[in-house]
Structure 1
Amino acid sequence: MLTAITNSWALLLGVAFLMLGNGLQSTVLGVRASMEGFSTEATGVVMTCYFVGYLVGSFVTPKALSRVGHVRVFAALASLSSASALLHAVFIDPYAWAAMRLITGFCFAGLYIVAESWLNDSATNETRGQLLSIYMIVLYGCVALGQLMINISDPGSFTPFVLMSVVVSLALVPTALTAAQVPAFESPSPVSLRRVYEISPLGFVCAFGVGVAQAQIFGIGSIYGGELNMSPKDISLFMGAVSIGGVILQFPIGKASDAFDRRIVLIVVSLLAGVVALSLNLFSGPEATPMFLISALLFGALCMPLYSLAIAHTNDRLEASEIVAATSALIVIGGVGAVIGPITSSFLIGEFGPNSYVYSLSLTLLMIGFFGVYRMTVRESVPIADQGDYIGVPLESSTMVVTMTPEGEEWYEEVIAEAEAEAEAEAEHAYVQAHPELGLVESEAATASEHHEMLEDGPGFWEDENEETTEPEDPKKSESH
């Protein structure tokens, strides 16, 4: 494990810087939008644009990787994201911010794809699952730290936007200087959404619902805090508590889902998350009290693992050859839910006040649980002995994270073997083109070999066709002819 971390420290450090910038930006924009007098609905649209850009970038980036490579794509996207962070402070306007958030989401989708494919290539079959766990801790931990960074600068000034730009730019340093080999890249092709629903209706609904809920948390959480008249410090503590919570129960919930009926675990966790969400309203106010922060921490701890439970539950219904494609489709489904969540929640807050934010979160999660209860009356559970292993997967990730799961190892190894064979064939072809005389010799040798084989096979061929034989006919030979 230590070797895996040593080999991947530069990539993990680059991801850490990215998440610091991402966490800081999502919190600062919500606070600053309120200071500038943006309507709740307009701010919601701004935040939604990030997830729209993210969804688009997840489809476009693989094409760019195949053309210009990992290092150039990572450098271009990190630079563009860094520039867009600064432009938020230059053009303080909802339309300009929406455009910048769209660009930021697009860039981060590509940055995740590059980082995860590189990270996966540096792992072995023995360390891949552990490396994925560390990757999740880095993601959620650094998002929480980024949200707390609002306390070292005035959100009404230019400073936090400079900090965003600096930390995103710093992600380039360890990544550009890493000695890791550029990996072969092949994005999994997701199956149709209809097919995924047919395989596992509960997995589909859960992935979509969790996408809605988690996008509400990270996209609208700071707006919710602002509507409660919280200070920037209290907003950052609230958002940081939810993010840290996303890490602390991943392992216990995963172990429980491996040991018991996974569908029951999913139902219980989603219902508890919905109930705990309601407790936020009981303790909410202009100050982030200890009870409010404890509720936020517990809510994050219950809500964040649901996405991984949806993937694990769906995989239990699949053949091994279908897992990579279906999991990729679930990531897309979660992304679609993430587009819907923030804009819906912001309009509810604008119409009915901040409490509607919590009611929306709670209702989404309770509906997942109730749908799971309904599914238990329609279909039998997968036997515990036939369940696969739970693997924690962050919602804001690319389809490349699938290859870091045990189920994706075989698929990834096949991709690498095909890429190496193709590269070897291209190199051989290029060498022959550069030395035509060798190609002529090889061609003559191949012709002679074929001629020799024809001479050897010839007598048997003519004997089969033209000569009668008293030996009984072999059925296997008849089938082959």
Structure 2
Amino acid sequence: MVVTLLPLVSLFVSLFITMMGFGLIGLVLPVRMGWENIDTGTIGLILAMYAVGMLVGGIYSRKLIARVGHIRMFAACASLGAISVLGFSLSTNQVLWGLMRMAMGFCSACTFAVIDGWLSDEASDNNRGKILAISQITVMSAMFVSQFMINLAPIDQPTLFVIGGMLFCAGLIPLVMSRRKGPEVHETTSMSLLTLFTKSPLGVVSCFASGLLYSSLMNMLPLFAAHNKISGFMLSLFMAAAIMGSFVLQFPVGMLSDRFDRRAVLFNLIIFNMIASALIPIAAYFHLQVPMMIATGLTNGIFTCMYPMSISETFDRIQKVDMAAAMGGLLIVYAMGSTAGPLTASYMMAVFGDNALFVFLIVSQLALLGFVVYRMRAREALPVGVQESFVMHTEAGSALFDLDPRIPQEGSDTPDNIETQVAATIAENSPAAAVRMAIEIAQTSPEKAAELCARLAQIDDIEIGRLFKAIVEAAPDLSQDIAEALASNVPEQSADLVAWMSDNYPDKLQDIVLAIANQYPTDDSDSPNNDESNDDSIAEETAELRPADLEAYQESATELVSHYLANHPHEAVNIAAAVVANVPEAASDIVEMLHEADQIDSDALKSDIEEHHAAEQAASDALTKNQGNESTPVDKH
């Protein structure tokens, strides 16, 4: 591990120094605005601009890095950050401060995108999680130390802003002096917020709440402290306690999240945290500084832990290939919450007083608690053993999601051959040209036809039916191989292919559908006919199949039978048997579908799948349920 980390020392040093700059200014700015007697609502608006800049940076950072490279992008962020910090010292114009604050948020997002890509490129599957943990420790250590730097100079002088600018410039030195070259940039896209919410409502809502609560507390806490006569070194201790809680609580909360139903853990954490939030103003009123700091650390720590818990909850409900896109969507949701938090909290404080901050936090948590209860009743919990593990993310602003060991990494699978890589690249700008190229390759190298077809089918602008036709005409003997490759790589498009085949090649439909059905994952470990050599591989395959991925296959299998039933109803039972044998979890839905269409022969279906114990049991249960609702059995095959 030491050998792995030594080449990354310059990156971690640059990250530490830069984050000290962000941490220092994050504390100095609200304290200085309070000293300038700027009204609380305006302070909240200026502080919220940081999240707006972070959102913009999250959207465009990777495109900018791809254009200029990692080192130049980091240098630009350091320069812009220094300019922004020094801009605060030039004038107290509130519009200028809002713009500078937004620029700092943009720099923060881009800085972490640079570090994220660089560390991810150096990491392996074995040490990715450890490097992520070290990077988060580096961030939190820098933020902790920076809280004490406010004591280096009076708050009414520009000295602290100058020190902040110097830190941004100094953070650039270790990285640019390194001999290492920047890594390759991998473009990522964000999942639409509507799709994300549909798949994981609780993940999205808890992520928004995490941004709302964390940003409200950390941005407005210095104002609360100032109004309670907490300043100087005590202010540093107060803010450092909040940051320490963000780090320390990651470990016990992560352990609880991995050992119990995550939603139940979140439920209990919220109840506990509402009590801790209420204790902060009470302790401040009675000048109980130690209890106040402990309560603050607990409150902010739980707010911070809500973000990685929301990621894990979301990952439980989506396919593995969608994790990176989902993470991008969650960053947007978090930024939206972080923008709304200071705005709303500052308004509450301006109207009702400083203690209204904690009333706002408690009411927001109460609303989240209600939604947690609703989701616990609306959807059954996953077994604890198949929940995604908790991975430390101290805050979304420092989210190094390329390092997250749960997210599939670029190049972790078998790499495409050169022809497939070129075809995929061409398809991004000209899908038609990519298909023509694929046809020519398939004619000269038929063995590459299946891989080409499967890769191009993942391009949104390429219609799967026409692609299949074009490739099969070039390599006619590989129609079943191509269909199997499509089902294995893009199972969600299997039904579209069947529908297209029904209209264009009905004579080949059954063979193609059977080939597709045989590509669905199956668990035959209970079958007595399996030999020991197959048992291990089957068990390993099904163990790796997550519930969300299995659900996607199940939906695809059901749609496949539905299309076949609509076009060739007399052969539907044969196809259904093949599908159920491979996806027994879909047996109930498929049997119900055939039952409603009056196209089911109970004995025929059971006999076709009798060698598959799991499928037989699932189908038998579904058949018994359907026939129990009738006075006479259905037999219309």
TM-score, normalising length from structure 1? 0.84
Write the distance in 2 (CA, Å) between the matches of 1:238 and 1:288: 12
1:254-281 CA distance string (max 9 Å, x none): 1211111111112212222222111101
Write the distance in 2 (CA, Å) between the matches of 1:380 and 1:395: 28
Residue in 1 that maps onto 2:205: 205
The total of aligned residue pairs comes to 436
Q: Kindly state the Cα deviation for residue 407 of structure 1 after the two structures are TM-superposed.
A: 2.2
Residue in 2 that maps onto 1:20: 20
1:98 maps to a residue whose letter is G
Write the distance in 2 (CA, Å) between the matches of 1:333 and 1:256: 25
Q: Kindly state the Cα deviation for residue 87 of structure 1 after the two structures are TM-superposed.
A: 1.4
Query: Does residue 72 of the first structure (1) align with residue 60 of the second (2)?
Result: no
Task: Give the alignment of 1:131-210 within 5 angstroms.
Answer: 131-210=131-210
Residue in 1 that maps onto 2:597: none
Residue in 1 that maps onto 2:409: 411
Write the distance in 1 (CA, Å) between the matches of 2:141 and 2:358: 23
Write the distance in 2 (CA, Å) between the matches of 1:166 and 1:205: 39
Query: Does residue 47 of the first structure (1) align with residue 41 of the second (2)?
Result: no
1:340 maps to a residue whose letter is A
1:346-382 CA distance string (max 9 Å, x none): 1111111110111112222232223112211111001
Residue in 2 that maps onto 1:215: 215
1:228/1:354 contact within 8 Å kept: no
Write the distance in 2 (CA, Å) between the matches of 1:78 and 1:316: 37
Q: Kindly state the Cα deviation for residue 174 of structure 1 after the two structures are TM-superposed.
A: 1.2
Task: Give the alignment of 1:281-292 within 5 angstroms.
Answer: 281-285=281-285, 289-292=289-292
Q: Kindly state the Cα deviation for residue 191 of structure 1 after the two structures are TM-superposed.
A: 1.1
Write the distance in 2 (CA, Å) between the matches of 1:152 and 1:312: 41
Aligned partner of residue 171 in structure 1, secondary structure: helix
Q: Kindly state the Cα deviation for residue 396 of structure 1 after the two structures are TM-superposed.
A: 3.1
1:58/1:398 contact within 8 Å kept: no
- Aligned-residue Cα RMSD (Å) equals 2.9
In 2 relative to 1, CA 286–162 (structure 1 residues): closer, same or farther, beyond 3 Å? farther
Aligned partner of residue 406 in structure 1, secondary structure: coil
Q: Kindly state the Cα deviation for residue 88 of structure 1 after the two structures are TM-superposed.
A: 0.6
1:251-307 CA distance string (max 9 Å, x none): 221121111111111221222222211110111149671111111122223221111
Higher deviation after alignment, 215-224 or 381-390: 215-224
Higher relative contact order (CA 8 A, sep 6+): 1
Q: Rg: which structure is higher?
A: 2
Residue in 2 that maps onto 1:100: 100
Task: Give the alignment of 1:16-415 within 5 angstroms.
Answer: 16-285=16-285, 289-397=289-397, 401-408=400-407, 410-413=408-411
1:334/1:395 contact within 8 Å kept: no
In 2 relative to 1, CA 233–288 (structure 1 residues): closer, same or farther, beyond 3 Å? farther
2:82/2:164 contact within 8 Å kept: yes
Write the distance in 1 (CA, Å) between the matches of 2:80 and 2:418: 35
1:379 maps to a residue whose letter is R
Structure 2 unaligned spans of 5+: 424-439, 445-473, 478-506, 513-637
Write the distance in 1 (CA, Å) between the matches of 2:396 and 2:382: 28
Write the distance in 2 (CA, Å) between the matches of 1:421 and 1:8: 31
1:217 maps to a residue whose letter is L
1:222 maps to a residue whose letter is P
Aligned partner of residue 412 in structure 1, secondary structure: coil
Write the distance in 1 (CA, Å) between the matches of 2:346 and 2:413: 43
Q: Kindly state the Cα deviation for residue 235 of structure 1 after the two structures are TM-superposed.
A: 2.5
Residue in 1 that maps onto 2:5: 5
Q: How many percent identity over aligned positions?
A: 28
Write the distance in 1 (CA, Å) between the matches of 2:414 and 2:228: 52
Aligned partner of residue 389 in structure 2, secondary structure: coil
Aligned partner of residue 413 in structure 1, secondary structure: coil
Q: Kindly state the Cα deviation for residue 421 of structure 1 after the two structures are TM-superposed.
A: 5.7
Residue in 2 that maps onto 1:443: none
1:267/1:370 contact within 8 Å kept: no
2:136/2:398 contact within 8 Å kept: no
Write the distance in 2 (CA, Å) between the matches of 1:364 and 1:180: 46
1:349/1:357 contact within 8 Å kept: yes
Write the distance in 2 (CA, Å) between the matches of 1:421 and 1:262: 44
Aligned partner of residue 393 in structure 2, secondary structure: coil
2:139/2:398 contact within 8 Å kept: no
TM-score, normalising length from structure 2? 0.64
1:291-324 CA distance string (max 9 Å, x none): 1111112222322111101111111112212222
1:235/1:288 contact within 8 Å kept: no
Write the distance in 2 (CA, Å) between the matches of 1:249 and 1:159: 34
2:58/2:331 contact within 8 Å kept: no
2:410 maps to a residue whose letter is Y
Write the distance in 1 (CA, Å) between the matches of 2:67 and 2:26: 31
Write the distance in 1 (CA, Å) between the matches of 2:348 and 2:31: 18
Aligned partner of residue 111 in structure 2, secondary structure: helix
2:403 maps to a residue whose letter is M
Aligned partner of residue 9 in structure 2, secondary structure: helix
2:196/2:326 contact within 8 Å kept: yes
Write the distance in 1 (CA, Å) between the matches of 2:84 and 2:199: 41
In 2 relative to 1, CA 286–143 (structure 1 residues): closer, same or farther, beyond 3 Å? farther
Kindly report structure 1 stretches of 4+ aligned residues shifted beyond 6 Å.
none
Write the distance in 1 (CA, Å) between the matches of 2:174 and 2:397: 20
1:184/1:416 contact within 8 Å kept: no
In 2 relative to 1, CA 288–190 (structure 1 residues): closer, same or farther, beyond 3 Å? farther
Aligned partner of residue 37 in structure 1, secondary structure: coil
Write the distance in 2 (CA, Å) between the matches of 1:80 and 1:288: 41
Residue in 2 that maps onto 1:430: none
1:404 maps to a residue whose letter is L
